[in-house]
Structure 1
């Protein structure tokens, strides 16, 4: 069973690691992925061993809280409603920052003003008023601590559970600064009470209240900027949601009525005017128009539609007035499934993130240990003031926010950008691994070609053409194969009558048997004719001629001889050749796998410049070809659209389904190309490469930042170069590291797709 949970309280990669670790301890857990960006947990588990409640308890035991995803929503609401999960976070951080600054500004004026020569109130000036100065600073700091109390609540809670996180570092750092300031006030009070002015002078500059307040405020500033940037990462999904109207006009007994889209039922007749967006999926029952489907397919050219044609939710009616019958509503519409796929991809974890996860699990405890060692060392070597400053700097510079955000923000922007281009990545793993594939295997029909073959030539043997076509169409009427449909379509175009074949039998990958007008006929490829011991000598040259011209020969025979051969041709898509050329330039080995005869396949392969052609391949053997490449150490991507492609799609490292293909093929695939254009595979590979490059940049920055920052904060370069880090500067640097990571990920929105 698979279940998604919303987790609250997570702030960094250490939180993420703690939740995952806590859940994975349960017996029966197959997989648990925590996404810091969306604050979600996706668990695959054995529901006979554990329940949702057990998982919720495990999250709680880790120091966080969780609910089942969607549990707090109105059951009537659709996942097409625009829900900006970051809006509340932006508002909350904005208020925390605003009120923190309200107290921080006067605090900084009082604490730092004398050094800048700024005028001060008389009751705060001079050594005799030093106690007043300390108390005023403390009173201005306390509200900042209260406003940002969540750092202390979460931080100490996880610390006591022995799973410290970013909040723990901030709580210890700012808390230590505040406690030391209070300690300084007591020492000054003692000195004044006993007339020990040396003691008063010693602690005159030891108020760390401004550091405590500044650290919290700067962290909140960084979190506020981070929340704003994170909100932009969901723009792609929100823009898709925006395309579905909230209201629709339906027709009931000839009367028009406006209702909420959520109230539409299957079978309702919906009226769409020019310029309106279509609310649900359906079939046109009256009128004709042109539909802009660019929101779903990325294709800018409007598509002409008429009666019995499908229309999709979130597409735009450009010209005509029409009516359609609702066939799919709510979460079953195409747009809803696209959004669901994108959101599901964001909850999965790319393999590259595992390295960061392993480090996150031990990072914070190590930082706390370094901070303690730093405090002890500088306390012995110099003084307590130096020690506390260095220790606090280590804590606040080390917060692993950037580490936890490095991967999920790039994945979210990358999958969102892909969705806008008509490329659906069903998991973060598929987004990462696509650009690493070595071999791309392409199914022919519907992938390289349009999948709409047509009859080009007919050769007959002692039979009249109309009679032959009638027999052929009768045999092929009940077959779903594209070549069979082409023959039936040809008979319809010629107004040739045909019947249902009796005793119809399909031989997968070879042909069919059937009884027409009391006589048994067989149709299929050359292999089938040879197996049935039917003489093919008279038509060998004809079949070769067809194949050499790129036509697929289909044999028809009675129980004695071949009665005719039909040559069919499936037109190659306009973009296929260019796409294959571009794929080869990207360093991929591009091959075609088809059930077509060898000569026809070679003719097509030569035209397209393919590296290798596998012809006359039975459906079950496509998966074997994938496996052979894998045994050679190659990573394989298989592209197909049919039911017979499903095993190969599932076997390959990356299965890619053409969007116009069957539901089974799409279900088996890792990536879906909605436009059914091979050229989008080029863009998918380039987007995969750009996203992983972006993640590596983010991880490098996160690691480099901590690798450089911690030694400086610990004072390693202080003795030699006099270089040390003020805790306030450390807090500012830490905050902006997260903002940098998110902003860098947003650059993926500038990815330019080739056309």
Structure 2
């Protein structure tokens, strides 16, 4: 259905007719839009959608950003309640993404949160909350502190309620199991089991039926749907057998009841949920140290092993799916049993129907990736490795080339002046000029020089400066020009370096010290030798990285002699000297073009471009805010030895994900055919639904427990 209602998308930094024209032309390529215009004065785009307004907004925002402009949005993370499985998270995510004004929404079942980017002029947080509530869940939109407190209270209450229900169901499950297994022929046995199973199904298991009804109203399904249909079918079938045994016998239906299956499946699932919630609580304890986590879900697994959660409407033929619509498989098995099962076909079909529905619950698959990621990120936080991007945690194991900035990464980042050599007779004015120019600079080497000179120097007013990126600084005082920088800068300015100065400089460079030249526009006035100690753990870290098969590259702005001296001390064979900030990003890109997976480690503003270019970016915690903002990982202690530790953490995390997926898939691949009765024609074996319930519960618990093993790995 076509919509003619205009949608107003607020724009940012569109300050000319030229910019507006670029966006307007770019929107021509957006197939979801029927018409569009740009209002430059109001800084907004006006679009109308061909069919779905929410898709039109999302496509328009994507196109505007691809053109180099942006849209005014808000990014918030909201706690989500009332989710019982991964399908609930998928339903909540689809609901949010279907709201006009939501640019992107991701829901993480493992930590019960929704990360939403939306346009506040089109949709409000309250409207998002109402949409989620209509779908049967809830979104907490209070301010962050209140939301956290509210969520903590809700989780505590839910856990206590779940605990009471699980204990109550298990108490009734014991006599129900004993009678169902060993005393089926006792007088009034069916009625006793009916009495025992009724509170188990409709009191302790009522949340499954409530949840299934809410999902049915929205033409959706989740774990509650599978449990409600399976246990409800077994219960109703057994009630009919109990009340009308003769009639059912005349119809050729076997008179066996399945009250114990209905009740004990509920008990096992409640026990499994209780253990799962307890384990998830342990999982999230370390992650609370972090601000947030980019969520990762698994519902589709591609041939190359890549996992991604998508809406059911995006599923393609050939995809390996998390089993969501399990009832379709079960209905097929039920029909086959009725047609082919002989005189007991219906009763055996009911068993297969119930068992397949129970076994098809997708909880283990839904937990496989998020729990491992959460534990991995939490383990990193405990070890002083803050991981902002879960994708980087997964990708780090593939790194085969790592670029290390020298200053502040390999070295302490605390340079100290070891000597100043004046090549003219000492002049107090020159010392004050040197001090004043460096005082105006923010470079770490400038700080070292000013710290060394401050006791005997005076700041001069009237100094003007200009930074020369990657080479030094130029200053003017009393109509004279001075430069402070490296030898390359002096050569570019055709400044004479005396033989005596050259000999002194070479000796300092051979000792792995950095030399800064202080010159006027004709010759070198003085040279300053600066030492920056190599961190005690740097050599060990480099050796470990090389042992892991990773090629280590060192980049530095220092000259060849200093770079070589430092590289030799660390055993690094690949290094680059006289590197400008822009060269670092270009070098990272050149490695990527050769097929390398590149990690960049740096600590300064000059490293930010290279950090952004790298596949995995790691900042030192004592470095600049910009570097830490760009990087996906931060080493709090600035200890280089944490880098191989982060890579090993990545390997362990990905290994846990693969193990989780393997066991979750094996559970479904083997369990569903057995539940459907594939072994019955061979040996007469038909899996009891209550054991299917136990297996389903244990599969989720085993996935979470396997993820928790990461906490205890070194």
Same fold (TM over 0.5): yes
Counterpart of 2:640 in structure 1 is 678
Q: Is the 8 A contact 1:158 1:164 kept in 2?
A: yes
Partner of 2:63: none
Partner of 2:378: 416
1:469 Cα deviation after fit: 4.2
- Structure 1 residue aligned with 2:259: 209
Question: 1:44-79: per-residue Cα shift (whole Å, max 9, x none)?
Answer: 233344333443344345x3322235459648xxx7
- Aligned pairs (5 A) from 1:574-653: 574-653=536-615
1:19 aligned to 2:92? Answer: yes
1:225 alignment partner in structure 2:
275
1:512 to 466, 473, 489: 473
Conserved 8 A contact 1:457-1:567: yes
Aligned to 1:322: none
Question: 1:617–1:202: structure 2 CA closer, same or farther, 3 Å change rule?
Answer: closer
Q: Is the 8 Å Cα contact of residues 346 and 415 (structure 1) preserved in structure 2? A: no
The separation in 2 between residues aligned to 1:399 and 1:718, in whole angstroms, is 22
The aligned residue for residue 172 of structure 2 is: 103
Query: Which residue number in structure 2 is paired with residue 44 of structure 1?
Result: 117
Q: Which residue of 1 aligns with 2:56?
A: none
Q: Are 2:18 and 1:66 equivalent residues in the alignment?
A: no
Alignment size in residue pairs: 625
Contact 2:403 2:599 in 1 (8 A): yes
Deviation at 1:727, TM superposition (A): 0.6
Q: Given that residues 13 and 357 in structure 1 are in contact (C-alpha distance below 8 angstroms), is that contact kept between their aligned partners in structure 2?
A: no
Partner of 2:619: 657
Q: What is the alpha-carbon distance in structure 2 between the residues aligned to residue 48 and residue 612 of structure 1?
A: 53
Q: d(CA) in 1 for partners of 2:153 and 2:640?
A: 34
Deviations 1:410-463 (A, max 9, x none): 111111111111100002112111121222111111111011112223332222
1:640 is displaced (CA, Å) by 0.9
User: Does residue 32 of structure 1 match 2:105?
Assistant: yes
Which residue pairs with 1:442 in the alignment?
A: 404
Contact 1:156 1:171 in 2 (8 A): no
Tell me by how many angstroms 1:187 deviates.
2.1
Evaluate the alpha carbon distance shift between residue 722 and residue 628 of structure 1 in structure 2; reply closer, same or farther with a 3 A threshold.
Answer: same
* Structure 1 gap ranges (5+): 116-123, 127-131, 192-197, 239-338
Per the normalisation by structure 1, the TM-score is 0.77
Note closer, same or farther for the CA distance 1:475–1:690 as it changes in structure 2 (3 Å cut): same
Residue 373 of structure 1 and its aligned partner are, at CA, apart by 1.3
Quick check: 1:2 aligned with 2:75? yes
**1:284-683 map, 5 Å:** 339-341=289-291, 344-345=292-293, 347=295, 355=307, 357-358=309-310, 363-364=322-323, 366-382=325-341, 383-464=345-426, 469-492=431-454, 495-497=456-458, 499=460, 502-515=463-476, 519-538=480-499, 539-683=501-645
- Pairwise CA distance, 1:734: 0.6
Superposition deviation, residue 605 in structure 1? 1.5
Q: Is the 8 A contact 1:356 1:403 kept in 2?
A: no
Change (3 A) 1:170 1:611: farther
Q: Please state whether the residue corresponding to 1:234 is helix, strand or coil.
A: helix
Q: How big is each residue's C-alpha offset from its partner over 1:329-380, in whole Å with a ceiling of 9 and x where there is no partner?
A: xxxxxxxxxx343xx1264559998736359876445522221111111122
Shift of 1:389: 0.5
In 2, Cα distance between equivalents of 1:404 and 1:64: 19
Given that 2:111 and 2:284 are in contact with CA atoms closer than 8 Å, whether structure 1 keeps it comes out as no
Compared CA separation, residues 352 and 216, structure 1 to 2 (3 A): closer
Offset of residue 680 of structure 1: 0.6
State the distance in 2 between where 1:143 and 1:717 align: 33
**Number of the residue aligned with 2:223:** 166
Contact 1:188–1:203 (CA under 8 A) maintained in structure 2: no
Q: Please, what is the CA RMSD of the aligned residues?
A: 2.8
Shift of 1:483: 1.1
Name stretches of at least 5 consecutive residues in structure 2 with no aligned partner: 1-73, 316-320
Kept in 1, the 8 Å contact 2:299–2:310? The answer is no
Distance verdict in 2 for CA 1:72–1:652, change over 3 Å:
closer
- TM-score normalized by the length of structure 2: 0.82
